[in-house]
Amino acid sequence: MALFPYLDCRHHFYLPVGDGHQLYVEESGNPAGLPVVVLHGGPGGGSSPQQRRFFDPQQFRIILLDQRGAGQSRPLAGIRYNTTAHLVADLEKVREYLGIERWLLFGGSWGVTLALAYAAAHAERVLGMVLRGVFLCRQQDMDWLYTSQGAARLFPREWQAVNAPVAALSGSLLDRYAAAMAGERARYFARAWCNWEAVLAGMSPLPDGQGGDDELCMAVQEVHYFRHGGFLEMPLLEACAGSVLPVEIVHGDRDFVCPLDQADALHQVLPNSVLSRVPGGAHSASHPAIANALVAAVKRLHRRIVE
C-alpha cells in the first residue's frame, strides 16, 4: 500500500511552553480535515517530513511537533524541566493553541509511551490512536535494551561496541553514558549510543566519530528518561486498562528494539484495539512492510471514527 505524496507543510511556528522551552510545530494537509498529531520516538528522536506520508492530505489535518529538547525545538537536547508530565502538558498547550477539540494520536516507539500517557490523562481529547512499535517503558523493556541479558545476546559484537567507550566508568550502561555525555566529548559518546539502537532497528551504524544534533538529542534524552523509569507515575498497562478508544496497533515480528510481547500485552488490556503483526517487519517506520501496514491502519481508523 503506497505512501501518500510528499507535500510541504502549510506553516510552522515556535510555541513557548514555559521553563525556557519552545516547541517546533508544523501543520500540513487539509485545515478542515480530521486532526492527527504525530508523536516521534526517542525520547529525543525529533519529527521528520516523511511522517506526513502516512496520511491522506485531503482527509487529515496533520500536526508534527518536536518534543522538548528534540529536533528543532529549543534548547537543543535540553533536559531541565523535561519529564513525561511536561510532554503531556505540552501536547495540551499545542491542542489548545490550534483550537482543536479532539484529535488522533499517531505514535511510534517512545511515541507510543507518550500517546498512552496522554490518553490516560486526557482521554476526552482523544479520538483514537495508531501505535507502532510498542514501547511500554517497563523495567524489563529497558533491561532488554541496556543489559547483557537482553538484545545483547543477539548482537554480542555490537553490544561490546556500545560498552567499549565507557568501559572505564562504573555503574549501569545508562549511568556510565550519563556521566560520559556530561563532558566535552558528548557527541562522540552520542554516536556510539545511537549506533547500538540503529543495529537493533535494522539500520546501518555510522562510523565512529562526532554525532550530529539529532544523535545528541536522542542519546542525552534517552539516558535522562530511562534512568528515571520514563518519569511515569504508574505503569502504562495499568493506566490504560479498559479504555474503549479505537486503537490500531502495528508491530513487526523482527522488531529487536521493542519485542512483540509488548504489543501483545497492550492489545490484551485495550478491548477496542486491533493488533496487526507484520511478518518480517523491523522497528523503523521506514521499513517497507511497516510503512504499508501503517497506511492501512490509518485508513482503518479513519473509517472506524468517521463512518
State the catalytic residues: 109, 255, 283
For 92-115, b where at least 16 C-beta lie within 10 A, e where not — what string? eebbeeeeeeebbbbbbbbbbbbb
- Which run of H or E residues covers position 91? helix 84-98
Q: Which three cell numbers stand for residue 94?
A: 499545542
Cβ 86 vs Cβ 67: under 8 Å? no
Cβ 75 vs Cβ 14: under 8 Å? no
The contacts of residue 223 (CB under 8 Å, 6+ apart) are: 174, 177, 178, 181, 193
* Cα separation, 129 vs 275, whole angstroms: 12
Sign, Cα dihedral of 169, 172, 177, 182: negative
The contacts of residue 65 (CB under 8 Å, 6+ apart) are: 23, 24, 25, 26, 37, 38, 47, 73, 94
